[in-house]
Amino acid sequence: MQTTVTVGLGSCGIAAGANKTYEKIKALQLAEGLDFRLKKTSCVGMCYREPLVEITDDSGTYLYGEIDENRAIELLDKHINQSSPVREWVVQTDLFDASDNDFARSQVKIALRNCGFMDPESIEEYQARNGYNAIRKIAEEKITAVDVIQTILASGLRGRGGGGFPTGMKWKLANNNKSPEKYIICNADEGDPGAFMDRSVLEGDPHSILEGMIIGAYAIEANGGVIYCRAEYPLAIKRLNIAIDQARANGFLGKNILGIEGFNFDIYIKEGAGAFVCGEETALIASIEGERGMPRRRPPFPAQSGLWRKPTNINNVETFANIPWIITNGAAAYAAYGTEKSKGTKVFALAGKIKRSGLVEVPMGSTIRDIIFKLGGGIQNDKKFKAVQLGGPSGGCIPEYLADTIVDYDSVNATGAIMGSGGMVVMDETTCMVNIAAFFLDFTQKESCGKCTFCRIGTKRMLEILTRITEGKGVENDLQTLEELSYQIKDNSLCGLGQTAPNPVLTTLKYFRDEYEAHINHKKCPAKVCKPLLTYRVVDDACTGCMVCAKNCPANAIDGERKKIHFIRQEDCIKCGDCFTKCKFNAIEVI
């Protein structure tokens, strides 16, 4: 077989320098006349190891991690010229026990089944991996729209955008409306960390989204499709446009698709401005129609009156990515994964204080602990796991003692968090939970469209209180005020943004109330994060009088002579922490 060298060129890889790696390999191949096939792929989920280069030869497949331009030179020389794989750089292989083998083996990939395994700009490679077999099966076996919907219902697939509404039921409601004009929309604009997953699938497997939409259009009898994608995803948009052109050229879009009489369907891309509120269906529809992205009162629901006031179905990227697999493999195969009420798999974007950041796909019912420690490799620098924020900026913070909670819709909701579209931000002992609540609320407050008074003003008042607490200016009744505002905002906001925005505050108040009380009553930050509450002090026994702290203090707040104990004047200290970070003798302590 011919040796193949594949470079991961998703956004994560490109950001890590994969383009330079690819160009170096290409230049070396031409200059030295090396006999191998050079290919491109997208993100394989192992973002913490980028740039990634995979080499497949007669002996097997080797995935190499952290291959920059310099390593690429050595890699080609040893693996290609000398037929000697560089074992210490291999992160995944079936040939021996590589460092990150368990990262892949612990996953079940359905939505991510093609990402990192094919050229996303090649419809031929998609078809070689069973691509478009699902819509062909529908055409050849003359499966009715009702039967397609029944298959999706039987699979137990629930919307992966966060709400968890049964996908088949959503399609059934749209199918029941017999309007001659219907639309189907792919929401690829969600703004939480789970949107990283959306972008990666769009970049790595765009045809699966198109095929999922085509099947959905057949099921609800839609004749128009829109992919609503944020303009900040230029690579995803480029590859989607290539895929759409290829699908049209091969008869998967257009009139009488695959000979199905009257099945006329096409797709275009609407580039959004990246507003978080446009993750909500009606705000998204307003944006497509050229209006400001603001939610509309429901009912009527989009299935009754959506885009251009016509019946419309909206699903997110991950939901559509599952559809072809379900049709090809059957509802029972999909339902075999997961729990009683949450079937299939779920993709999570691991971020924060975790050793292995990136994308993972696991069966529903996996525990949070297993995802963080088996797949994520545990906490950076082996610090203590403190909490995980699940569900994006408006998700909730789940403490370590609930880490054995399984990931399904009901179990996650019971903690006060939400599934969202799969953002999972891991926190360690150095995280201040009051500060983190303020951080997430600052995001949702800025992203509020302003339509609802409680969301517009209430989140601003909450953020002011949280800021005051982190500055040591909190008062005793602030916690009661935060809780009252939270429930008022949740109960009186029109869309999901306002209804979930207080979640980070409510969950941190529930599980980490002692940290709030320490900030308010003792003017101390237990995690030593909130600068106004910190005091820097010289440890007399450790101070050598080297004067490094004094020389680096921007406020000239440190007194002392060479080789004598120094002293920090607290009234002049601006709490920048430079003395703490510059001291080589651990002679500065933070209290």
Whether 217 and 90 share a structural domain: no
* pLDDT tens sequence across 371-430: 999 999 999 999 999 999 998 888 999 999 999 999 999 999 999 999 887 889 999 999
> CA angle, corner 323, sides to 317 and 325, nearest 5?
120
Please check whether residue 309 lies inside any domain of the structure: yes
Q: What is the spatial distance between Cα 303 and Cα 474, in angstroms, rounded to a whole number?
A: 47
User: The tokens of 25 are what?
Assistant: 């390999």
Tell me the residue range of the domain where 542 lies.
Answer: 535-590
* pLDDT tens sequence across 133-179: 999 999 999 999 999 999 999 999 999 877 789 999 999 999 999 99
Q: What is the CATH number of the domain that holds 512?
A: 1.20.1440.230
- Which amino acid, 385? F
3-state SS string for 2-16: CCEEEEECCHHHHHC
Element (H, E) at 199: helix 195-204
For residue 193, pLDDT over 50 is answered with no
* pLDDT tens sequence across 57-85: 999 999 999 999 999 999 999 999 999 99
Whether 323 and 397 share a structural domain: no
Indicate if the alpha-carbon torsion angle 146, 152, 154, 159 is positive or negative.
negative
Please check whether residue 114 lies inside any domain of the structure: no
Whether 451 and 566 share a structural domain: no
Whether 411 and 439 share a structural domain: no
User: The tokens of 180 are what?
Assistant: 């001659």
Q: What is the CATH number of the domain that holds 222?
A: 3.40.50.11540
For residue 505, pLDDT over 80 is answered with yes
Strand blocks (E) in 263-353: 266-272, 312-316, 345-352
Whether 263 and 247 share a structural domain: yes
For residue 439, pLDDT over 90 is answered with yes
Q: What is the spatial distance between Cα 205 and Cα 241, in angstroms, rounded to a whole number?
A: 12
Strands 423-428 and 345-352: parallel
What dihedral do alpha carbons 129, 322, 179, 245 form, nearest 10°?
Answer: -40
Strand blocks (E) in 65-143: 90-93
Please check whether residue 13 lies inside any domain of the structure: yes
- From 428, 444, 466, the end of a domain falls on 428
- Range 493-522 burial, b when 16+ CB lie within 10 A, else e: bbbbbbbbbbbbbbbbbebbeebbebbbee
Q: Which residues contact 476 (CB under 8 A, 6 or more apart)?
A: 520, 521
Whether 186 and 169 share a structural domain: yes
Whether 366 and 353 share a structural domain: yes
- From 392, 413, 428, the end of a domain falls on 428
pLDDT for 106 = 86
Whether 15 and 58 share a structural domain: yes
User: The tokens of 338 are what?
Assistant: 């997961």
Please check whether residue 113 lies inside any domain of the structure: no
CB contact at 8 A, 243 and 207: yes
Please, is 546 exposed, middle or buried when counting C-beta atoms within 10 Å of its C-beta (0-12, 13-18, 19+)?
middle
Please check whether residue 526 lies inside any domain of the structure: no
pLDDT for 279 = 85
Where does the pLDDT of residue 1 fall: very low under 50, low under 70, confident under 90, or very high at 90 and above? confident
Please provide the average confidence, as pLDDT, over all residues in the chain.
Answer: 94
Please check whether residue 110 lies inside any domain of the structure: no
CB contact at 8 A, 103 and 93: no
Q: What is the spatial distance between Cα 481 and Cα 493, in angstroms, rounded to a whole number?
A: 18
* Domain count across the chain: 5
Strand partners, 56: 4, 61
SS3 call for 179: coil
Whether 511 and 578 share a structural domain: no
Please check whether residue 76 lies inside any domain of the structure: yes
* pLDDT tens sequence across 326-368: 999 999 999 999 999 999 999 999 999 999 999 999 999 999 9
Q: If you compute the radius of gyration of the chain from its CA atoms, what whole number of angstroms results?
A: 27
User: The tokens of 111 are what?
Assistant: 């939505």
Q: What is the spatial distance between Cα 186 and Cα 170, in angstroms, rounded to a whole number?
A: 14
Please check whether residue 112 lies inside any domain of the structure: no
pLDDT for 192 = 52
pLDDT for 276 = 86
Whether 370 and 516 share a structural domain: no
Q: What is the spatial distance between Cα 579 and Cα 584, in angstroms, rounded to a whole number?
A: 10
DSSP string, 439-491: HHHHHHHHH--S-SHIIIIIHHHHHHHHHHHHTT---TTHHHHHHHHHHHHHH
Q: What is the CATH number of the domain that holds 55?
A: 3.40.30.10
* pLDDT tens sequence across 543-553: 999 999 999 99
Could you tell me the maximum CA-CA distance found in the chain, to the nearest angstrom? 91
Whether 314 and 193 share a structural domain: yes
Q: What is the CATH number of the domain that holds 544?
A: 3.30.70.20
CB contact at 8 A, 165 and 173: no
Whether 422 and 438 share a structural domain: no
Give the chain's length.
591
Phi, psi of 482 (to 5 degrees): -60, -45
